Amino acid sequence: MARERKTEVRTVVVRQSPAVVIIACACCLGVGLAIGYFYGKESGSAVVGGSPVQVPTSAAPASLQNEMTLKSILASNPRDVSAQIQLGNLYYDSGRFAEAVEAYGRALELDPNNVDVRTDRGTSYWNMGQPDAALAEFGKSLETAPTHAQTLYNMGVVYLNGKKDPAQARATWEKLLATNPNYPDRARLQEQIAALGAASTSAADSPARGGNTASPGVEDLLNRLKKKP
């Protein structure tokens, strides 16, 4: 996941059109409700069915209010992709990754080619400790957009830290740089690729030596696997 969400999974290479989402939603509980605007984060490069959202004022946490509002919208219109994506984003940002996976899955049923949402779903799986499921989602993203930078970056992190496969991680990141010449964090990623190469050479020279073949800088990469760097 470390965003392109959209940056590295929301970083810089994500075609995203942030939209202010406003949907008329009246909730009567006996007293008048004050109307607030909830600005949703659009995950996909193609935002489908953006809807204005009204958030009732109460003593409950804002995230809970927004969740209730989005669920109310979806109860009225289950095909509102924008609201479904926003709900997934809300769950992700709250650390509720299993629920994020479900919400993103429902969005993908309506918009299966949304690469950003699928990448975020894969990152959610990674945060649940399921690297194979994460890689499966990233693979589907690349079928739609073979050079999608965020997907390639996150895939490399999962190969390195989840599958303990530095060679595959390096190959994935090299593809990222080759297909995205203007990648914003290019210099730093090149250093990590070089470090992986040095680590592999060292491991080959000392086959009896155990331990992690990754460089000390790898921990930094793991910390960056998140939606927003």
Q: Helix 115-127 to helix 131-144 angle, to the nearest 10 degrees?
A: 170
In a domain, 20, yes or no: no
In a domain, 23, yes or no: no
In a domain, 6, yes or no: no
* H helix or E strand, kind and range, residue 35: strand 35-37
| The pLDDT of residue 104 | 98
Those residues whose C-beta lies under 8 Å from the C-beta of residue 112, and which sit 6 or more positions away, are none
In a domain, 13, yes or no: no
In a domain, 3, yes or no: no
In a domain, 64, yes or no: yes
- For 131, the domain range is 35-224
pTM of the model: 0.65
In a domain, 24, yes or no: no
Show pLDDT as tens, one digit a residue, over the chain (229 residues). Answer: 444 444 335 332 233 333 333 333 333 333 333 333 333 344 443 333 333 333 333 434 677 889 999 999 999 999 999 999 999 999 999 999 999 999 999 999 999 999 999 999 999 999 999 999 999 999 999 999 999 999 999 999 999 999 999 999 999 999 999 999 999 999 999 999 999 887 665 544 434 333 333 344 445 544 445 443 3
Which CATH number characterizes residue 188's domain? 1.25.40.10
- Could you give the number of structural domains in the chain? 1
